[in-house]
Chain A
């Protein structure tokens, strides 16, 4: 449609757009209640509204393999990333920082009301068996006293680091970056 055209005129001289605006506002004037063209236009709007409802339940779904294909490409592009060197009896072991971050996020998520977000881990410059952790979290509104919840997050992060990675935690910077509410997205 040409943008300069102001609307779709009906044989009675009114614009379809104006009839629809009236219907939307619920204030249909005397002309539109009587005029056959306006009544036909309002039937057209009802038909469109019904069809729009059908479109909202559009059954079309993406092909089954699409997600796997994209995730395969994403996985292939994922850089190996930085690694931590773990002291081990038969020689050092390399572990990817992304894997360590995943362990830490999992530990933080296990505290009710806590969702881990950004996670950064680095080795202490002075020691080969200790790390510094930075983690941002989002907290469910009304979860409880902040210091209690964050203390529990710290405790679980340190336990996961020691138990599952085998490194000592030197410091943990926790940042509360957001709040979420149950049932909202």
Chain B
């Protein structure tokens, strides 16, 4: 395992340069998330431009000390900051630079402290900080970072991992804090941008620079249950006004005083900078007045006034084009985070649950009620959940159909058969048929000593189920899996997908896949992190 004890300004530069490239790949996706504070749809772009400016400035300083490079990045970020999130990002850099001041090199502990300072500074520029945004993400990530640094103060990678992990969780939770996100069924765009930057930095520190070229950042999925309703499309009570931004260059400007003066002129006000460079961002109905106040204090630069009502319309248009219209929602019960990702990526809403953690009828009902469409298909993906799911239809006015999928692979096969062009009934019957096109192997452990047919099973031994029938027993999951595989005529199939559980290291799953590929060269073997507990492996054979 790679370990970084201390780092200097050069590392800082390279790391965030890589993180900026990483962010760049995600810009369009982040722009599409944007719903807060007004849907101006360019958060990703703004954050990228801010980061670019920061990185450019970092490469301009000849000094390699952490202090000099972080100062330069803070300056570059302020000069290049655009939009709400960009300005907050520039504040984050400012705080980070403050935390790293007078340091040639920094340890994980130094970084965690500086990151906490960054979090505090981010809050300071705002007249009215809102939770469920980038602010929450950095605060929670920074707090976790400091905790992690207490134990792993000598390892930057471990501390960064803790920060990224916390940022991801915090981000997934943003819709629970901010109703506008919950309605749109997305996470906060600025938070996503920050998470992507941090994640890119972590990947680079881990030495994954090469792989990063070929991969793309993922957008974090909302942990809140999907939207109860979409925001009304054509009702527009309050005009959004103009997003007004500029940089004031002058002498001895009092940022606090300026913020106070501008406060009553609009929404989403941010005033940041030092006393000679101040960046202003405000959503106002009267940009003229705001500019007037600015010009009294110094010269104005990078002035930008954009009509947000226009942007809002473009945004709605963009949202409309994003996905095919379907009046059917699919809700899948998922036993693991990786499997949830699979279902999400195929267009389903997810209710967590599985073996020994069956969701209640209420859990599923809640999900059914919270999706927009009136027609809902439920994939229980576990034989113990089929009945629970079956209760839902009597408790809701919505038209609900349960496809009795007994395993995750059956659920995946069913959702793949979904056709945007077909109606509810046709889809339900196609999905029902499709679920039987796949065979499932599940590897788990015996919970008690028993005997079943010819099989003598001791407690905690590995057992293998083929289409939910117990058919093999052994001492290791791999051994059992191979036994079950031998019972199937694999030559007759095309695709094998292995979802490995939370206790299985990726390397072990990869090794298994390599062995299978050698044994069955005609099969397409794919491994996917399932993240499920109790089941070491869930295997789909099609």
Chain A complexes with chain B? no
Q: B-side interface residues toward A, CB under 8 Å?
A: none
